[in-house]
Amino acid sequence: MQNTNLGLIGYGEVGGIFCAGLKPHVASTHAWDIKLAAPDAAEPLRARAAADGVSLCDSAAALCSRSDLIMSAVTASNTVDVAREAARHLRPGTVFLDLNSASPGAKREAAALIEAASGLYVEGGVMTSVPPYGIRVPMLLGGPHAESLAARLSAVGMDARAVSAELGVASAIKMCRSVMIKGLEALVIESYTAARAYGVEDHVLPTLQETFPSIDWSEQGAYFYSRVVQHGRRRAEEMREVANTVREAGFDPLMATATAAKQDWVADLAAQGLFADIDKAGGWQAYADRLIAQTRDR
């Protein structure tokens, strides 16, 4: 990887972590984000890039001209659009690692665009939250070029494993897992908030603890609330891609669609400032109390 020129499309939380973590292992690190075109949104990105020594590009074309390994880490709904834009500027032989949480169908569409431009497409499924792990977050790779890229990434300490030469397998694993994980977040928020509104949480949580004793349901609940408040919009987008995944398999995505709606609901309230300055020491109850007060004030 020492001779690799790395480009990150999407300089958000995930992109920033990967840029900073991989910088010591590559020849150069570049990033481009559509938010760089907006002065207010660009300022924190430029500050982070300066601190991490990352070179920011003013366009996808500029990034592609400087990169031979590109990682796409954008919102799920932009997966194909980003691949289409990158394909217009790719240098032949550039490896394009698609880290986005998109359906197998979307990944295959993105792959067709990259391969038509003589790029080497690899789908990636990031299997858990990135911040606790950094570049060592467990990641599944798929497609005909997955094995060779997994070896390169593993050599610098990444937890990357090729699961199939067939495109769509890695993303199917990721998306089916999200039905459970993101669905559990939504269920916890609905169950805990309603239980607290009725004043019965001290009865409900112990029954969960008895049934699933390996989980600290109070601590896990606090984590779920905080993550949805912080990243609900992105999670809702992912769950719409999960719904597409279920639909592509021939089933009605009833649970995935409901989860997306719950995540969007929390994200809307967060955008309105409902959870601003919340005391996280109050645990999940602090978030639930805000939701209950908002409902009663209507």
Task: List C-alpha distances in Å: 41 to 17, 45, 88, 158.
Answer: 18, 7, 26, 30
Residue 116 has pLDDT above 70, yes or no: yes
Q: Distance (Å, rounded) from C-alpha 146 to C-alpha 9?
A: 19
Q: Cα 168 from chain centroid?
A: 17
Q: Which residue has the tokens 């590109």?
A: 70
Q: Distance (Å, rounded) from C-alpha 89 to C-alpha 80?
A: 15
Q: Which residue has the tokens 């992109």?
A: 15
| Spans of all domains in the chain | 5-166, 171-296
Two tokens, residue 140: 């599944």
What confidence tier does 39 reach under pLDDT thresholds 50, 70, 90? confident
Q: Distance (Å, rounded) from C-alpha 88 to C-alpha 82?
A: 10
Look up residue 6 and give its amino acid.
L
- pLDDT reported for residue 111: 98
Residues above pLDDT 70, as percent of the chain? 99
Model pTM score: 0.90
- pLDDT reported for residue 9: 96
- pLDDT reported for residue 295: 83
Mean pLDDT for the stretch of residues 14-18: 90
What confidence tier does 298 reach under pLDDT thresholds 50, 70, 90? low
Strand order in the sheet with 95-98: 55-56, 28-32, 5-9, 69-72, 95-98, 120-126, 139-142, 160-164
The pLDDT tens digits of the residues spanning 101-115 come to 999 999 999 999 999
The pLDDT tens digits of the residues spanning 118-172 come to 999 999 999 988 988 999 999 999 999 999 999 999 999 999 999 999 999 999 9
- pLDDT reported for residue 142: 97
- pLDDT reported for residue 132: 87
What CATH homologous superfamily does 5-166 map to? NAD(P)-binding Rossmann-like Domain (3.40.50.720)
Mean pLDDT for the stretch of residues 7-32: 93
The pLDDT tens digits of the residues spanning 164-213 come to 999 999 999 999 999 999 999 999 999 999 999 999 999 999 999 999 99
Triad 55, 61, 62: Cα angle to 5°: 30
* Cβ neighbours of 62 (radius 10 Å): 16
- pLDDT reported for residue 190: 98
- pLDDT reported for residue 12: 87
The pLDDT tens digits of the residues spanning 51-78 come to 989 999 999 999 999 999 999 999 889 9
* Cβ neighbours of 81 (radius 10 Å): 13
- pLDDT reported for residue 2: 82
CATH number belonging to domain 171-296: 1.10.1040.10
The pLDDT tens digits of the residues spanning 210-266 come to 999 999 999 999 999 999 999 999 999 999 999 999 999 999 999 999 999 999 999
Two tokens, residue 86: 């990158």
Q: Distance (Å, rounded) from C-alpha 96 to C-alpha 83?
A: 9
Helix (H, G, I), strand (E, B) or coil at 52: helix
- pLDDT reported for residue 284: 97
- pLDDT reported for residue 215: 96
Q: Distance (Å, rounded) from C-alpha 17 to C-alpha 292?
A: 35
Topology match between the domains 5-166 and 171-296: no
Positive or negative torsion for Cα 155, 45, 59, 112: positive
Look up residue 264 and give its amino acid.
D
What confidence tier does 296 reach under pLDDT thresholds 50, 70, 90? confident
